[in-house]
């Protein structure tokens, strides 16, 4: 079935008022769906083999819009239902797509849309920070809210209770040792064997979606770059792509290449750091030190040539804020020439080490069928057979001029997730070299032109964790009225709960690091 076939079949199966192509939403089509058929939409999409990508709500003052994005074979569809403020109930997609669960809870907590037949009625995003029937993404809700002098402690979340002889609970977090962000993990275990893991996130909710309202394009780009600091390039690129599509703004060809170079450098930096961290969690400190050293050298050159270690605020609406001169191009090439053999040798040392093999192989196994059901992305999905990469399957400039190799394994364990990271690092070296070689001449930015009317757009970028989807809508004054960024962590965090089952408690750190979901990217 072709991309057009499945979208036509899905549209014909529901009481849709219209299906249309909008330039700002390309490569997605927009499908208007009646509230009564919202659940049927998910059922038919599941039968057609579609992937559930993201969902978000929007208060439009006169009505509430609920959106769900679906994908198959690189083609996207955004389904949209319109609700009156007095009737804010829709059938849940969660009975058909596990990936929809937390997203629907987020929309319920922030927009006030109730999803009937949703299996989990617990608060997800709100915790105790605001009143039961206050919805921060409603237009009447002030960004500052009305916080009490002291927010009540979040000590009553009804975790799954442990029962049975010898079963006990282990609470981990929400405050952790070191400097990592907060997240609560509740284990049920017998001895050291984990029977169940349950997560509770949202402790670093920042109000990103709310404080985006009223911003201009430049300010939104800066905000997007702070959703999750370790993928500041990819999130900013996705936000700028969405805004540029909405306003039909062309980006200079050279800027596309510089954006991709920065995004690949971000991929390398994080993979190097995380491979080392996984090795550290199994007491192979030599590997940790060596990968950390290489990561530091890598980020120092980013700072020297691009003005920031993590390249924050280097992407702007219409292009990029910094260019590469011939000396910088040569420095990047030389760094790759020096680092490639070191990375290859370190990977070989780790793969040939029997004690590392014993700790990583079969540990944290994520079945490929379950990985697909959860909608996992990036290296988490690819280690469990999910062969999808936006750069290759929905190519955007400059990747539409390049052949992108996607490493895919079916082992599904920690070893496979590390193996994907290593392969992606080495291929990113090659991509950067090709991008530098083909770097076109010309300007690096075009002036921003706000849309003349209320327009919307989406951005799709393959960040180092996987597919990032960003949605924006402008108001009639050219300011942002809705901003929704979906980090891959929304779909990868639930996989950690599943892959920890039947593992031992001491393997939680290495399993967690092999997934490495972003708390900040999730806790908008």
Summarize pLDDT for 141-187 with one digit per residue, the tens: 888 877 777 777 777 888 888 888 889 999 988 888 777 888 999 99
Q: Which residues of 70-94 are buried (b: 16+ CB within 10 A; e: fewer)?
A: bbbbebbbbbbbebeeeebebbbbb
If asked whether residues 241 and 379 sit together in one domain, one would say: yes
Helix or strand holding residue 5 (H, E):
helix 3-13
Check pLDDT > 90 for residue 355: yes
Residue 445 lies in a domain: yes
329 belongs to a structural domain: yes
Residue 324 pLDDT greater than 70, yes or no: yes
CB atoms within 10 A of CB 385: 18
Q: Which of 122-131, 309-318, 515-524 has the lowest mean pLDDT?
A: 122-131
pLDDT, position 344: 97
Residue 167 domain flag: no
The yes-or-no verdict on residue 347 having pLDDT over 90 is yes
Considering the domain architecture, whether residues 86 and 219 belong to the same structural domain is answered as no
Quick one: pLDDT at residue 133?
Answer: 84
Burial class (CB in 10 A: 0-12, 13-18, 19+), 115: buried
Domain count, the chain: 2
Identify whether residues 313 and 421 lie together within a single domain.
Answer: yes
Task: Detail the DSSP E strand segments found in 73-157.
Answer: 75-83, 89-91, 114-116
The answer to whether the peptide bond before residue 174 is cis (omega within 30 degrees of 0) is: yes
Share of the chain above pLDDT 90, in %: 81
pLDDT at 109: 93
Residue 165 is assigned to a structural domain of this protein: no
Q: What integer pLDDT is reported at residue 149 of this predicted model? A: 76
266 and 404 share one domain: yes
End of a domain among 49, 83, 116? 116
Q: What is the mean pLDDT of the chain?
A: 93
Residue 172 located in a structural domain: no
> Do 104 and 241 sit in the same domain of this protein?
no
Higher-confidence position of 177 and 378:
378
Q: What is the pLDDT, as a whole number, of residue 197?
A: 95
Q: Quickly count helices (H) and strands (E) in the chain.
A: 17, 15
Q: Based on the domain organization, do 111 and 218 belong to the same domain?
A: no
Q: Strands, DSSP E only, in 99-228?
A: 114-116, 167-172, 184-190, 193-200
In a domain, 69, yes or no: yes
Q: Assess whether pLDDT exceeds 70 at residue 1.
A: no
Q: Are strands 466-474 and 480-486 parallel, antiparallel or unpaired?
A: antiparallel
Query: 376 and 236, same structural domain?
Result: yes
Q: How large is the average pLDDT for residues 461-467?
A: 97
Q: Per residue in 244-296, pLDDT tens?
A: 999 999 999 999 999 999 999 999 999 999 999 999 999 999 999 999 999 99
Residue 349 has pLDDT above 70, yes or no: yes
Quick one: how far is CA 149 from the chain centroid?
A: 34
Band (63; pLDDT cuts 50, 70, 90): very high
Q: Does position 103 have pLDDT exceeding 80, yes or no?
A: yes
Q: What is the pLDDT of residue 249?
A: 95
Model confidence at 18, in pLDDT bands (50, 70, 90)?
low
Domain with 85, as residue range(s), is 3-116
Last residue of a domain, one of 61, 81, 116: 116
Using omega within 30 degrees of 0 as the cis cutoff, is the peptide bond preceding 158 cis? Answer: no
Higher-pLDDT residue of 153, 330 = 330
| pLDDT in the model for residue 447 | 96
Distance, CA of 27 to CA of 76 (rounded, Å): 6
CATH of the domain at 267: 1.10.645.10
Residue 17 has pLDDT above 90, yes or no: no
Do 107 and 229 sit in the same domain of this protein? no
Mean pLDDT along residues 457-485: 96
Q: What burial letters (b/e) apply to 364-379, b meaning 16+ CB within 10 Å?
A: bbbebebbbbbbbbbb
Q: How much is the pLDDT for 453?
A: 83
**Both tokens of residue 140?**
């009447």
Same domain, 317 and 444: yes
Same domain, 100 and 236: no
Instruction: Say if residue 75 is in the same domain as residue 223.
Output: no
The residues, ordered by sequence, that sit 6+ positions from 78 with a Cβ below 8 Å of its Cβ are 25, 28, 29, 30, 31, 67, 68, 69, 70, 458
- Does residue 230 share a domain with residue 102? no
pLDDT at residue 2 above 70? no
Which helix (DSSP H) or strand (DSSP E) does residue 471 occupy?
A: strand 466-474
Indicate whether 41 belongs to any domain.
yes
Task: Among 116, 143, 178, give the residue marking a domain's end.
Answer: 116
Name 494's Cβ contacts closer than 8 Å, sequence gap at least 6: 98, 99, 101, 102, 199, 374
pLDDT at 414: 97
Q: Which domain CATH number covers 53?
A: 3.30.460.80
Among residues 227, 186, 279, the alpha carbon closest in space to that of 513 is found at: 279
Q: Is residue 296 assigned to a domain? A: yes
CA distances from 404 to 55, 386, 392, 438 (A): 28, 15, 6, 15
């Amino acid at each position: 079935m072709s991309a057009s076939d499945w979208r036509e079949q899905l549209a014909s199966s529901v009481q849709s008022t219209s299906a249309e192509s909008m330039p700002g939403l390309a490569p997605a089509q927009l499908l208007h769906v009646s509230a009564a058929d919202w659940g049927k939409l998910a059922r038919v999409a599941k039968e057609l083999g579609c992937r559930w990508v993201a969902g978000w709500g929007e208060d439009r003052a006169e009505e509430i819009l609920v959106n769900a994005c679906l994908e198959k074979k690189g083609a996207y569809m955004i389904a949209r239902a319109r609700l009156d403020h007095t009737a804010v109930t829709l059938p849940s997609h969660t009975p058909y797509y596990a990936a929809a669960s937390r997203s629907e809870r987020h929309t319920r907590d922030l927009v006030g849309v109730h999803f009937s037949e949703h299996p989990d009625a617990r608060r997800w995003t709100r915790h105790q920070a605001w009143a039961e029937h206050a919805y921060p993404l409603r237009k009447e809700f002030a960004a500052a809210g009305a916080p009490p002098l002291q927010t009540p402690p979040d000590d009553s979340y009804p975790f799954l209770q442990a029962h049975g002889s010898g079963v006990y609970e282990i609470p981990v977090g929400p405050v952790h040792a070191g400097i990592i962000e907060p997240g609560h993990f509740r284990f049920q275990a017998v001895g050291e064997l984990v029977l169940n893991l349950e997560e509770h996130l949202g402790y670093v909710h920042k109000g990103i979606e709310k404080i985006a309202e009223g911003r201009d394009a430049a300010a939104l780009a800066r905000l997007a770059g702070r959703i999750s600091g370790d993928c500041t390039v990819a999130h900013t690129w996705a936000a700028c792509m969405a805004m540029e599509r909405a306003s039909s703004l062309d980006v200079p060809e050279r800027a596309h290449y510089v954006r991709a170079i920065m995004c690949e450098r971000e991929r390398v930096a994080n993979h190097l750091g995380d491979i080392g961290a996984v090795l550290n969690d199994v007491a192979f400190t030599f590997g940790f030190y060596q990968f950390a050293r290489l990561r530091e050298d890598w980020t120092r050159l980013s700072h020297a040539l691009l003005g920031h270690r993590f390249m924050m605020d280097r992407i702007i609406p219409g292009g990029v804020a910094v260019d590469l001169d011939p000396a910088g191009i040569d420095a990047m090439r030389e760094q790759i020439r020096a680092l490639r053999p070191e990375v290859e040798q370190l990977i070989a040392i780790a793969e040939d080490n029997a004690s590392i093999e014993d700790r990583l192989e079969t540990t944290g196994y994520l079945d490929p069928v379950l990985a697909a059901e959860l909608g996992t992305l990036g290296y988490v999905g690819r280690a469990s057979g999910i062969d999808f990469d936006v750069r290759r399957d929905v190519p955007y400039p400059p990747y539409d001029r390049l052949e992108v190799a996607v490493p895919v394994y079916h082992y599904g364990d920690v070893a496979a997730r590390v193996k994907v990271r290593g392969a992606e690092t080495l291929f990113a070296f090659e991509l950067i070299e090709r991008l530098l070689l083909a770097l076109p001449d010309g300007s690096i930015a075009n002036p921003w032109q706000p849309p003349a009317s209320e327009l919307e757009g989406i951005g799709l970028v393959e960040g180092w964790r996987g597919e990032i989807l960003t949605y924006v809508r402008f108001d009639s004054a050219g300011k942002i009225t809705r901003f929704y960024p979906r980090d891959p962590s929304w779909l990868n965090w639930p996989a950690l709960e599943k892959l920890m089952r039947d593992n031992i408690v001491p393997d939680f750190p290495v399993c967690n690091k092999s997934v490495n979901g972003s708390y900040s990217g999730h806790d908008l």
